[in-house]
Amino acid sequence: MSSNSEASFTFSDLFAGIGGFHAALHAAGGTWAFASEIDPDAARVYDYNWLRPLRERGACLPEGVEEFRVSGDIVPLTDPEVLVPRADVLAAGFPCQPFSKSGFQRGMAETRGTLFWNIARILQDEKSRPAVVMLENVRNLAGPRHEETFATIVRTLRQLGYRTADRPAVFSPHLLPRELGGRPQVRERVFILAHYVGREAAEREENFDEPIVTPKTYETDWRKESWDLERDLPLQPDDEVPGSYFLESAESKWIDTWDRLLTEVAGNLGPGERLPGFPIWADEFRTLEEAEDRIEIAALRGEPYPVWKRTFLLKNAQFYERHAHLLDKYRLELDAFPASRRKFEWQAGPHRPLRDTIMHFRPSGIRCKRPDYVPALVAITQTSVLGDRRRLTPRETARLQGLPESFEFRQSSSTTVGSVAQKDGASYKQMGNGVNVGAAYFVFRQYVLKHAEEIGEQAPGLVAAIKSSPSNPDLALS
C-alpha cells in the first residue's frame, strides 16, 4: 500500500464492466492496479477506454503488476491462491447470489459458493488486503427479503477486520446536482463501504457507524424536480442523431393512438380529477358487472385471481364505465396492437401531450413519465423513448452514467491491431449493468473524508488524494 503522504493511491476493479468505478476512482486521483471482468465484450471496451491509453503513453506499471490487461473470471484468481495484486482500494459491483447458509454466523464459510466469497478471500490475504473496500449492488440488497444476506456480508467484513456500518449507503445520481456529478437518472444503488482497522476494532460496537449517506440523510438545496433532460444531460440535437434511433411507423402509431385517447379522457375529467395511475388495460374495457362475474367464475373454478389482479380488473372496469363513450371509439385500433402495447401506465402528473413525456416500451406495457429525469437504465432493451420521436442513443446513456465524452463504445481487437465498433445492443446492456460514476464518486469521497484519520494510517496517499480532489468528478475527467 501507499507508504508516503503523496496524493496518490492504487485501486483494483472487480466485476469491472466497462469501467464506471475506474472513472470514479481515476477522477479521485487513483491509479489502476487490477481489473477483472468475465464478459469479453465489456472487458474489451474497458481495455480500449482505460488501459490502451496507459499502454500508448508508456505509463509505469503499478508495483506487482506485469501488464496492462483485464483479467477474466475472478474465481480462479482467488481460489485456492489469491493472485490479485495489492491495492489501496478494492471496488466491486458484485452479483448478489443467495447465501445458502445465511444466518448461522459462520462468517466466510457462509459465503462459500458465492462471488462475495472471492472478494472476502482477497480481504483475508495480507498480501492483497486493501485499505478501503467499496461494494455496489442493486437496491433490493437493502430490502427486507435480503436482511440475512446483508447481515452475512457485514459480519464477514468485520471478522476480516473491516469497520463498516450496520446498514448500507443507498444513493442515486438524480439526488446530486450537476455540479457535484449528478445526472438525471433514478438509479438507487446500495453501496457498502469499509476500511481496515483490525478485527478487534471492527467488532467494537462503538464503531458500528451509520451509513455515510442515504436519500433521507443527504441534505441539499437541490431538488430532483429541477432536472431538465434536454439541458442537463444534454440530449443530442435530433438532426445529429442517425435515423436508426427514431421510432418505426408501428411505434409511432401506438403513441399517436394512446395520445388521442388520453387527451379525450383528460377532457372528460371533473375538477381535481387526474388520469389514473394504475395501468390502463384495453383488454379489460368491460363493465363492473362483467368484471365481477369474471372474478367469481375464476374462483368457482378453483383458480382465484390474486388480490393485485382482482384490484386491477375492477379499477379498469370502473375506468371504462366512466369513459365508455370515448374508449369504445378506440377499440379497433387498440385490438390491432401487440398485447403489451394494449396496456398504458401514466406516471407524468397532470395531463400533457405524449410528445412532452419520456416513455418506456416495456413487456408489461407502455409507461410514460415527466421529461425531467429518466428511470434507471436496464440491461435489456427498454431504452427510454423521448416523446414521440426517438430512443436515447448509446452516447446519451453514457452521459447518464457520468462517463466522459472521451468514452467510446469500441472494443480493443483481440485478433488485429486497433479496435472495432461495438453493436448498440451490447452498449445498452453494458450501460444498464454499469455503476454511475457521479454517485460512486460522491459516496466514496464522503466516506474517506469522514474516516480520514483511520484510513490515513493504512493509505496516507489515498487520504491526501481525496482531500485534494474536486467535488465534481467531471472536472477531473473532462
Instruction: Indicate which residues carry an active-site annotation.
Output: 96
Calpha distance 305→307 (Å, rounded): 6
Closest CA to 323 of 273, 358, 360: 273
- Helix or strand run (H / E) with residue 119: helix 115-124
Q: Which residues of 30-51 are buried (b: 16+ CB within 10 A; e: fewer)?
A: bbbbbbbbbbebbbbbbbbbbb
Burial of 387 (0-12, 13-18, 19+ CB in 10 A): middle
Calpha distance 63→33 (Å, rounded): 8
Closest CA to 394 of 379, 383, 378: 383
Closest CA to 24 of 448, 323, 374: 448
Calpha distance 181→179 (Å, rounded): 6
The set of cell numbers assigned to 90 is: 478494492
Closest CA to 214 of 440, 448, 435, 443: 443
The set of cell numbers assigned to 212 is: 455515510
Burial of 291 (0-12, 13-18, 19+ CB in 10 A): buried
Sign of CA dihedral 196, 198, 202, 207: negative
Encoded amino acid at 239, one letter: D
Please give the radius of gyration of the chain, using alpha carbons only, rounded to the nearest integer: 25
Calpha distance 241→232 (Å, rounded): 18
Question: Which residues 6+ apart lie within 8 Å of 144 measured at CB?
Answer: none
ω before 470 within 30° of 0 (cis)?
A: no
Strands (E), 109-179: 132-138, 162-164, 169-171
ω before 173 within 30° of 0 (cis)?
A: no
Calpha distance 72→43 (Å, rounded): 8
The set of cell numbers assigned to 362 is: 416495456
